Every structure is written in C-alpha cells, then in structure tokens.
Amino acid sequence: MPKLLDLIEKLLLILIMLATLVAVGAEIVHMVRHQKVELSDLLLLFIYAEVMGMLAAYYNSNRIPVTLPLIIAMTALSRMIILQSKELDKIVLIYESGSILLLSVAALIMSMKDRVSLEKLKQRGAP
C-alpha cells in the first residue's frame, strides 16, 4: 500500500508540473496576442515559476519547504490586489495587505526555525 501511495503522489506531481507548463504556455500566448505585458502577467508567471521550484525542491529533497507555499500565497495576493484595486473597498485592501504581512511574518519565522534546527543538527553531529 505505501508503494501505491508513493506512485499516486509521483503521478500527481507530474500532472501538476504538466498543468503548470500548459498554463505558462497559455499565458505567454495571451501576452503575445495582446502585444502587452502587464504587472499582473509577470506576477502570474512568477507564481508558475514558484510552483515549478516547489516541485523541483520536492524531487531533490523529498520534502517541500514550508516557506515556498507562503511565498506563492503572498505573490497571489499581490496579484489579486493589482487586478482588483480599482473596485475594492479600502477595508478589503487593508485586509489583503494585512494577509500579506501575516504571511511574510510566518515565512520569516519558518526560515528562522529551519536555520535553528540546522544549527542544532550540526551541534549534535560535532564531536
């Protein structure tokens, strides 16, 4: 059973990679057709690059660093603010900006935790 779950996980990751590549291609075609590159387009491509980076990190280490999904979420919220900024109530903009701040603090805490954990591992291995 664990081998079956491992196989299913690998297949899902391959599907995510293929879907991301298709989405990147569609976004590039969209930009070429409109002959215009906007900040929201660049942020979307950045999100796709982060997803690919997360997949690569998983394949290299068999784990996903927690900070990567947090960074993807911050980029997605930034893109959403850019796309909807004209129609948003000011309070919604404050909530979304606060969410980005909260995610930033969480990413900082998680990266500090990883650094401390790595130092502890090095100390345990030292004679």
> Quick one: pLDDT at residue 126?
53
The string of DSSP codes covering the chain is: -HHHHHHHHHHHHHHHHHHHHHHHHHHHHHHHHHT---HHHHHHHHHHHHHHHHHHHHHHHSS--THHHHHHHHHHHHHHHHHHTTT--HHHHHHHHHHHHHHHHHHHHHHHHHHHHHHHHHHHH--
The Cα 99–Cα 107 span in angstroms is 12
The Cα 51–Cα 68 span in angstroms is 8
> Quick one: pLDDT at residue 127?
53
Tally of CA atoms within 13 A in the half-sphere of 88 that contains its CB: 14
Q: Judge contact between 26 and 68, C-beta under 8 A.
A: no
All structural domains of the chain with their residue ranges: 2-125
> Quick one: pLDDT at residue 102?
97
Cα dihedral sign, 32-33-38-41: negative
Q: What is the residue whose two structure tokens read 């990413």?
A: 107
> Quick one: pLDDT at residue 119?
76
pLDDT tens string, the chain, 127 residues long: the values are: 888 888 998 899 999 999 999 999 999 999 999 999 998 899 999 999 999 999 998 888 887 778 889 999 999 999 888 888 777 788 888 999 999 999 999 999 988 887 777 777 677 775 5
